[in-house]
Amino acid sequence: MKKIFALFTALLLVAGSLFGQVVSDSAKRDALKQEISRCDDSVARSFLLQQLYPLAQESDIPLYLSYVGDPLCAPMSVAALVALPGGDKALMELVRTEGADKTLLCGAVADRGLREAEPYLLQWAGSARGEEKKAIDRTLGIIGGKASAKYLKSQSLPDYLVLLDNLSDKEAVKAAKGLLKDANSGIRCAAVKTVIERSARNPKLVVDALKTGDRPYRNAALSATEKYDGETLAKALEKAYATLSDEARTDVLNWLGAKKIKSALPLVTGSISNPGELGETAIRTTGILGGEQAAEALVAALSGDKADVAFAALATFEGNLTDRWRQWLLPEICLRQRPWTVWLLWRRRRGSLPFWMLLPGTSRHHSRKPLSMLFIRKRLRLRQKD
């Protein structure tokens, strides 16, 4: 009956606020605290503590502290200590006395960034197992310093890498370099990002990473160059381009496109003739960079074995292609190229085209000029006048 009465009282308070009854926060808070003190059922008490949470004040810390030993009430009690002003002191007292579940305390220490808890957590780590040990390692990675570095390096490398954020640049780079050849690809990628991000801006570090055979590692190195000057790094990559594998060159082209380094366009267009992924990536990057040279290179690619990729790049080309349609649709253009250009004309909304415009016309192999080409020329002249 007491459990039902406590739940009924809490629901009345909630319903009162929902349906417009004027009940002050102070009155609600006092009523909830009275019910919590009278309630002897853990489930009902946990519910009442949850209702008190948004109204709680610093003076309610002792109330929450009194229930941290109850398994059902402990999560809500510790969460309240994390949120309330002055809760840090109470949390540290719980850490010193091991007065609550260690996993819950680790989460609270990490949330509050209580670095003074580090020595206590290192003591707990010696006997911890399972989820409790994982929670301790994760928390030491967030709040730990030099004292935790040696322990985490031998116990949990992912948390060790997180801990490097708390060290000086020199210490972090030195520690990360020791992990560049780790067997785990994820560890290597995180380490190379730390080395590049926290070292002096040295393009050689990026170039050295690109010469490895590990694609995630290479892309991690390229993604860590946010603080680098794009043009300066692009020049260094261009110098090393010939010494890289085709896969690494593809990664470089993707990076150049993502950063829109227009000065690298000659390097990009020069890679269009390469087979496979490298050539296709070069075409897509050319379309992203844009410009006169890019347009010419993409139109030329319409005659090759990557015409579909070039077509897609031209269809989304950022720039004005209107002045080029006449040149591309002249009778002298390659017969294999004309269907793509006509469809591009349609895709770029230059007018609807009947199917007979795709018929072969005059080229260097033909002497007859079809009506389709005359119609296209006339249509283009009219649009240019508009």
How would DSSP label each residue in 246-284? HHHHHHHHHHHHHHT-GGGHHHHHTTTTS-HHHHHHHHH
pLDDT band at 299 (very low <50, low <70, confident <90, very high): confident
How many beta carbons lie within 10 A of that of residue 74, not counting itself? 18
Same domain, 315 and 327: no
Query: Does residue 141 belong to any structural domain of this protein?
Result: no
Q: Classify burial at 235, counting beta carbons within 10 Å of its beta carbon; exposed 0-12, middle 13-18, buried 19 or more.
A: middle
Same domain, 290 and 329: no
Query: Does residue 130 belong to any structural domain of this protein?
Result: no
Owning domain of residue 218: 177-228
Q: Is the pLDDT of residue 150 over 50?
A: yes
Q: What is the mean pLDDT of residues 174-182?
A: 92
Q: Is the pLDDT of residue 324 over 90?
A: no
Percent of all residues in the chain with a pLDDT value above 70, rounded to a whole number: 76
Query: Does residue 264 belong to any structural domain of this protein?
Result: yes
Q: What is the pLDDT of residues 103-139, one digit of tens each?
A: 999 999 999 999 999 999 999 998 889 999 999 999 9
Same domain, 246 and 283: yes
Query: What's the domain count of the chain?
Result: 3
- What does the pLDDT read at residue 68? 93
Higher pLDDT, 145 or 307: 145
Same domain, 344 and 293: no
Dihedral sign (CA 308, 314, 316, 317): positive
Q: Which of 120-124, 224-228, 307-311 has the lowest mean pLDDT?
A: 307-311
Q: What is the mean pLDDT of residues 5-13?
A: 55
- What does the pLDDT read at residue 377? 46
Query: Does residue 68 belong to any structural domain of this protein?
Result: no
Query: Does residue 371 belong to any structural domain of this protein?
Result: yes
Answering whether pTM is above 0.75, one says: no
- What does the pLDDT read at residue 284? 94
What Å distances lie between residue 134 and 102, 137, 159, CA to CA? 11, 5, 10
- Give the whole-angstrom CA distance, residue 302 versus residue 279: 13
Higher pLDDT, 69 or 385: 69
> Could you say which of 262, 296, 319 is where a domain stops?
319
Query: Does residue 204 belong to any structural domain of this protein?
Result: yes
Residue 154 identity: S
Q: Is the pLDDT of residue 380 over 50?
A: no
| 8 A C-beta contact, residue 175 and residue 217 | no
Same domain, 306 and 254: yes
Q: Is the pLDDT of residue 298 over 60?
A: yes
Q: Is the pLDDT of residue 179 over 90?
A: yes
Query: Does residue 338 belong to any structural domain of this protein?
Result: yes
pLDDT band at 348 (very low <50, low <70, confident <90, very high): low
Same domain, 305 and 333: no
Query: Does residue 284 belong to any structural domain of this protein?
Result: yes
Q: What is the mean pLDDT of residues 256-278?
A: 92
User: Can you tell me whether residue 126 is helix, strand or coil?
Assistant: coil
> Could you say which of 228, 263, 293 is where a domain stops?
228
Q: Is the pLDDT of residue 271 over 50?
A: yes
- What does the pLDDT read at residue 67? 92
Reference 264, options 273, 275, 254; nearest CA is: 254
Q: What is the mean pLDDT of residues 236-263?
A: 93
| CA atoms lying within 13 Å on the CB side of residue 4 | 1
Same domain, 221 and 250: no
Q: Classify burial at 39, counting beta carbons within 10 Å of its beta carbon; exposed 0-12, middle 13-18, buried 19 or more.
A: buried
pLDDT band at 142 (very low <50, low <70, confident <90, very high): very high
Same domain, 288 and 224: no
Angle at 139 between CA 138 and CA 145, to 5 degrees: 105
Q: What is the mean pLDDT of residues 57-79?
A: 92
> Could you say which of 303, 319, 335 is where a domain stops?
319
